[in-house]
Amino acid sequence: MRAIQSVAIIGAGNMGSGIAQKSAQERFDVQMVDREQQWVDRGHQIIADFLDEALERRIFRPADVETIKGRITGVVGTGNIDPETDLVTEAVFEDFAIKQEVFATLDEICAEHTILATNTSSLSVDALAEATGRPDRFIGLHWFYHPAKNRLIEVIPATTTSAKTLAAVEQYCKTMGKVVIVCKDRPGFVVNRFFVPWLNEACMLLEEGIGTTAQIDSVACDAFRIGLGPFALMNLTGPPIALHSTDYLAEQLATPRYASTSSLRALVKLGGMWEIGPETDCDEASARLIRQRLLGQVFTVAAQIVDEGICSMEDVDRGAKVGLRWSRGPFEIANSIGVVQAVGMARSYADEAALELPDWFAERDSPFEFSYVDVEIDGGIATVRLNRPETMNALNVVLVGQLGDAIDELNGREDISTIVLEGAGKAFVAGADVKFFVDKIRQDSFQEVYDFTAHGHEVLNAIESSPKTTIALVTGLALGGGLELALACDYRVGTQRTQIRFPETSIGIYPGLGGTQRTVRICGIEAARFAVLAGSFMDARTASALGLLTHLVESPGIPNTVSDLVSAGKPSERYPGRPADASNPVASFAASFYSDDNMTAIASGGTPPGFEVDDPDVARQLKSLSRAAPLALQAASALLDQAVATGEDLGAGLQLELDGLEGIFGTADALEGLSALIEGRRPDYRGN
């Protein structure tokens, strides 16, 4: 598979410039193309405005902004793009004839390897693929606005799209930290299939006089736990978009219920916006009807999506949470209100709307169960994807249990040589589910905390002792338990997007899934103290120098690196006990600052002899240490020392971590630190 490194975007409007900007942010070489120089210039200005905003919010540094801009080349005329471009995405008007014309030109000028993609929210990907000369290298991409901010992307392979094309485009999307939903080519794909009729149903409720725009929005916000109701959302995106989308779905799905209401048509004709007054209260009977209609519509269409094999239940929920920023997806909402009640709402709506409710949903009377671990097997390589990106793949009881089951099954298969772990979205794993810890502490249910952690140890030990070669693709954030999961693998492959950290001491606890033990054995006691005690954020280069990453590559090089590691097999030296590059400035600083001789001074909150408090590196460490929970620091430091004392007996060190759990989770500081993280405030530690 040829990796995608260079991309071209046809169309420099709001969407096209956003795709270009996001691609450039993630280190791709970008051409932004439009018919005239003025439109190309406008695209550059749109990008500049967004980057200036990011600069003001300190998301980027000035040098970052200039680098991003430098990766984007303006091109006038589709015929003038570089023929060797790896991926060309058109982002022009939703007009089949115009898109067909663009692809005809691209077919003529692009090299054989070039993949063509359409950014569409409505047109048939299969039909467009047939209109090109390379249907095997054609794919649909539904970006959500704004492409640089919204993390969701729907990837729609045509029936002719090759497996290599799909894999290359998926890797491109993952490199940009996107949450990827691969779905069938059906009208509306996933999100718009249930979201557009939801908007239209709100318009119907308005026309029927069941509620005002403000009342319907208020009930919708409460029922779906969202910030904006359907009318406010239509005002935000523009009523014409809602009109076009509803009519399209009504036509393509032959569903008159989805046809735009007269009120929406009149509003668009006048060029107006919905008037949303301040009065949101309505009588309970009306509120109940609004709630039942809107929920029933979503349940019905979500069930149809799954029944038609467009995507899974999990992906429907994921689309709602990531793409629309709902707090829960349709199937999660059904579980929360009770499946029997949800089915009743769906039956009522389906009957009224003359829609078919799939039997598998209509006959359901028990909660839906979700899978958050996906396993794909190809040529002896099993890729295990932690697929809970809406929570940054945070480890909870269900996810750890499903991961353990997957690892046990793969370990027992003779046809598998390698297990690759990866996270969906922009994170590998962003730690454990902190709310679980807080809830259990407040319920005085420490045993559940212990059982969860002990099971986590079992799963990581199954990875550690696996007869298979194990590879963690740490291509995004790996925090706390996520980093500990990666450290249990034979190899840890990172990219420039990799960021790792042990944040535990700053939230009142210590790394409890092997972080105090494997880290010492990988990079030595001093570097481990740097990583664990101060909770230092480490970029990819630092992580590589310390040995916490075994391989640092550019994103397009990941497939080849994995292939090389599969051929190499298990490493000869898993725990070197020293940094991979002792000359690295961070490794050198850690070796001197966190030496055994200095630990007494550090433990007492002082500055070690020979170090100046105004030295930036020293100041950063002292500041981080001062913000950590004192008891957590003490416990973590002792466990790091025990890692040295237990030496090659990793099991003994891991048991010490488990033995100390009750002591640390029983402190007031642990509850304070964990609670403060959830509440978004700085903790107030008292050392008790």
List the CATH code of the domain at 191-362. Answer: 1.10.1040.50
Report whether pLDDT(661) > 80.
Answer: yes
Contacts of 605 (CB under 8 A, 6+ apart): 625, 626
Partners of 500 in the β-ladder: 478, 538
Q: Strand locations in 515-576, DSSP E?
A: 538-539, 551-552
Res 390: pLDDT: 87
Partners of 147 in the β-ladder: none
d(CA 363, CA 168): 40
Catalytic annotation present for 335: no
Q: Please give the backbone phi and psi of residue 361, each rounded to the nearest 5 degrees, phi first.
A: -90, -45
Work out the angle between the directed axes of helices 650-659 and 630-646 (0-180°, nearest 10). Answer: 160
Res 94: pLDDT: 82
Report whether pLDDT(213) > 70.
Answer: yes
d(CA 239, CA 271): 9
Burial annotation 416-434 (CB, 10 A radius, 16+ → b, else e): bbbbbbbbbbbbbbbbbbb
What mean pLDDT is predicted for residues 169-174? 92
450, burial (CB in 10 Å: exposed 0-12, middle 13-18, buried 19+): middle
What mean pLDDT is predicted for residues 28-34? 97
Catalytic annotation, pick one of 17, 23, 119, 121: 121
Res 544: pLDDT: 98
Catalytic annotation present for 244: no
Q: Please give the backbone phi and psi of residue 595, each rounded to the nearest 5 degrees, phi first.
A: -70, 160
Residue 426 binned pLDDT confidence (cut-offs 50, 70, 90): confident
Residue 536 binned pLDDT confidence (cut-offs 50, 70, 90): confident
Domains of the chain: which residue ranges?
6-182, 191-362, 373-679
Res 556: pLDDT: 81
- In this structure, the number of other CB atoms found within 10 A of the CB of residue 627 comes to 14
161: tokens are: 């799209």
Catalytic annotation, pick one of 26, 90, 154, 464: 154
CA-nearest of 612, 632, 631 to 622 is 612
d(CA 467, CA 416): 10
- Written as one letter, the residue type at 57 is R
The predicted-structure confidence for 291-347, as pLDDT tens digits, reads as follows 999 999 999 999 999 999 999 999 999 999 999 999 999 999 999 999 999 999 999
Q: Within 161-229, where are the H helices?
A: 163-175, 191-207, 213-224
Torsion of CA 620, 474, 571, 457, to 10 degrees: 80
Res 118: pLDDT: 95
d(CA 568, CA 418): 11
The predicted-structure confidence for 238-270, as pLDDT tens digits, reads as follows 999 899 999 999 999 999 999 999 999 999 999
Res 488: pLDDT: 98
Report whether pLDDT(534) > 80.
Answer: yes
Q: Is the peptide bond before 146 cis (omega within 30 degrees of 0)?
A: yes
Mean pLDDT for the chain overall: 95
What mean pLDDT is predicted for residues 538-554? 96
Res 514: pLDDT: 97
Burial annotation 155-169 (CB, 10 A radius, 16+ → b, else e): bbbbebbbeebbebb
Res 123: pLDDT: 85
| C-alpha to C-alpha distances, 28 to 51, 422, 484, 596, nearest whole angstrom | 17, 21, 30, 44
- The full DSSP string for 359-396 is HHHHT--S------EEEEEETTEEEEEE--GGGTT-B-
- Do residues 66 and 54 touch, judged by C-beta distance below 8 A? no
Label the pairing between strands 138-143 and 427-430.
Answer: unpaired
What mean pLDDT is predicted for residues 281-294? 96
d(CA 103, CA 648): 61
The predicted-structure confidence for 338-378, as pLDDT tens digits, reads as follows 999 999 999 999 999 999 999 999 999 999 999 999 999 99
- Written as one letter, the residue type at 328 is R
Catalytic annotation present for 657: no
Specify the DSSP class assigned to residue 484.
H
Percent of the residues in the chain that have a pLDDT greater than 70, as a whole number: 100
d(CA 332, CA 203): 25
CA-nearest of 41, 277, 67, 304 to 193 is 304
Res 95: pLDDT: 85
Report whether pLDDT(440) > 80.
Answer: yes
Res 224: pLDDT: 96
CATH architecture of structural domain 6-182: 3-Layer(aba) Sandwich (3.40)
Res 121: pLDDT: 81
Catalytic annotation present for 142: yes
CA-nearest of 657, 624, 625, 623 to 640 is 657
**CATH superfamily assigned to domain 373-679:** 2-enoyl-CoA Hydratase; Chain A, domain 1 (3.90.226.10)
Report whether pLDDT(1) > 70.
Answer: no
114, burial (CB in 10 Å: exposed 0-12, middle 13-18, buried 19+): buried
Q: Position of tokens 């491109």?
A: 172
3-state SS, residue 534: coil
Q: Strand locations in 495-637, DSSP E?
A: 499-501, 538-539, 551-552
3-state SS, residue 463: helix
Evaluate if pTM is beyond 0.85.
yes
Handedness of CA 362, 365, 368, 369 (dihedral sign): negative
The predicted-structure confidence for 65-116, as pLDDT tens digits, reads as follows 999 999 999 999 999 999 999 999 999 988 889 999 999 999 999 999 999 9
The predicted-structure confidence for 483-502, as pLDDT tens digits, reads as follows 999 999 999 999 988 999 99
Catalytic annotation, pick one of 6, 26, 124, 142: 142
The predicted-structure confidence for 616-629, as pLDDT tens digits, reads as follows 999 999 999 999 99
d(CA 398, CA 401): 5
Catalytic annotation, pick one of 150, 192, 200, 393: 192
Report whether pLDDT(159) > 80.
Answer: yes
Burial annotation 376-411 (CB, 10 A radius, 16+ → b, else e): eeeeebbbbbbbbbbbbbbbbeebbbbbbebbeebb
